[in-house]
Every structure is written in C-alpha cells, then in structure tokens.
Amino acid sequence: MAETASRVPVTTAEFVAWESRQEARYEYLGGIVRMMVGGTLGHHGIGGNLFAFLHGRVRAQGCRIFQEAVKLTCPSGDVTYPDVMVVCGPVRPTDLAATNPVLIAEVLSPSTEPRDRGEKWQAYQSIDALRHYLLIHQTHWCVELFTRCGAGWETTSLTGQDAAVPLSALDITVPLAALYEDTGLPVHPQPIRGVVG
C-alpha cells in the first residue's frame, strides 16, 4: 500500500540518492514519489505464502526470490518494491536494486490496484527478462496471470480451490490452495482464459 509523498518530478538517479537517506521506503512511478505504508495481515499472508512455496523450488534452479524489501529498477526509469519477485540472473551483494526479474507478483489492495494494473504494469513490461506477472486478489480466491507470449502477453484468470498457476518459465505450478492457506477467504469457481496484445 502506498500514499503520495511528493508530486515533484525528479530523475531516477536523484530519487535513488534521495531515498537512500530516508528511514521509510518510497516508490518512484512516472515522476511521482510515493511513500510505502504497511499492508494488511491478508496482504502479507498471501505474499508470504507465495514466497514460502517458491523459495526452495527457485533456489534449486539457481534463482533467488525476494519479498517486499528489495528495490526494482525498471528500464523505464521507474523504481518499485514488488510484493514478490524472482530473479534468475546475477545478483551481486553490492547491487542497490534488482533489474532482471523473471517473475513479479503484486497482492492487490484497493489503494494500490490502479497502479498495479496501470503504471507498474507498464513499467514492468519494459523488463526484457520478465516472463510472468501475477496480480493476486486478497478478498477472494483469484489470481490473474500474465505470461509473455512473443511481443504480447497471454492472460489467464484462475479461481477456485482446485486451480493452479502455471509458471512455465520456472517449470513450477503454484496451487491456489497454497497461496490462500490460512486466509479464511471464500472459494470461487474455475479459470477463464484470454489473450492480450
């Protein structure tokens, strides 16, 4: 979740230098700086479930998984803190931010959903390494999966306790039951598929 901290545009380099001196975390999207604020228990629980499910599986493939506190710098110049991201290329301890995630997941909330679907999604599409983008609902069992398909993206909406998210780039399938474990959320029906350009 985020709130607007400043509407004064600055360059990416100026933002990164400024943020390094702040106690709080901030995102930089389209020249707007927003302070990151705490999420709900449901938000953190779902993100934590995804992190826990993927952690050992992606490590076995030589990839690394990060949750919330690791900065992402996009080729577009935007800087975000995804809820979960998987990086399969090099990550050096001296790097200030990840730049090449294969997977990015955002847990939707009313205050962040417009940006997760809008500015962030636009920024994330500028990342050549990105193969999967997940939008995970926290009010009901539903995951929207965007998978790179040539020059466009295929989108699949997955719902219900028997559904699973196919992450083909990682050769991993994530059951929705694992994502929504211990959330107490109601279960909804089965997947709807489509393609977006």
The CATH number of residue 141's host domain is: 3.90.1570.10
Q: Kindly state the helix (H) or strand (E) to which residue 58 belongs, with its residue range.
A: helix 41-59
Tell me what pLDDT residue 65 has. 95
Question: Is 172 contained in some domain?
Answer: yes
Question: Is 192 contained in some domain?
Answer: yes
Tell me what pLDDT residue 160 has. 87
Question: Is 33 contained in some domain?
Answer: no
Tell me what pLDDT residue 197 has. 45
Share of the chain residues as helix, strand and coil, in percent rounded to the nearest 5: 20, 35, 45
Q: Which two tokens stand for residue 133?
A: 């983008």
Question: Is 88 contained in some domain?
Answer: yes
> pTM, whole model, 2 decimals?
0.88
Distance, CA of 163 to CA of 166 (rounded, Å): 10
Question: Is 63 contained in some domain?
Answer: yes
Distance, CA of 145 to CA of 134 (rounded, Å): 5
Question: Is 133 contained in some domain?
Answer: yes
Tell me what pLDDT residue 31 has. 86
Question: Is 10 contained in some domain?
Answer: no
Question: Is 9 contained in some domain?
Answer: no
Tell me what pLDDT residue 89 has. 81
Pairing mode, strands 142-149 and 132-136: antiparallel
In tens digits, what is the pLDDT along the chain, a chain of 197 residues? 455 555 455 788 888 888 888 888 899 998 889 888 766 767 788 999 999 999 999 999 999 999 988 899 999 999 999 999 999 987 766 677 888 999 999 999 888 899 999 999 999 999 999 999 999 999 889 999 999 998 899 999 999 889 999 999 999 999 999 999 988 876 754 444 454 44
- Domains contained in the chain, number: 1
Where in the sequence is the domain holding 139, given as residue range(s)?
A: 40-196
